[in-house]
Structure 1
């Protein structure tokens, strides 16, 4: 992973939950690419600590609908390439 969401946002739980709830209600993710990358970072960390499936689910991480939506939106906003900034390793 090339993005350190902790460096960007600190506590990712609140922004992750707010973003997920908004997506579940509206299907939209907004235009803040750094926020979306931090939320994707949070989802990856949650999946890792849950043993692979997101929060114990058996859906593979890369097929979890919220993750798929995050990746698609990040690609759409970035054109497929994101410049390195602080918060990267």
Structure 2
């Protein structure tokens, strides 16, 4: 499967795509939104996935970086990330 995979590992969000693996602490995540622009508004954002052929984008804003996930199932990925964040908040 070539799609982006998101999972929860301890207190981190893990984003896997191809051979890349990015870990973001949940405490650093400020906002998770959908983006309707073609390449994202943040010019210095870290882009994950293939921007061509993918119609949807999920933006993860952290304290220090912005991540743009190019995917075909943006709503599902966004909901999964938000669910992980809510679980983290409940545990604290």
TM-score (norm 2): 0.31
Q: Which has the higher contact order (CA 8 A, sep 6+)?
A: 1
TM-score normalised by the chain length of structure 1? 0.31
Q: Considering fraction of residues, name the structure with more strand.
A: 2
Select the structure that is richer in helix.
1
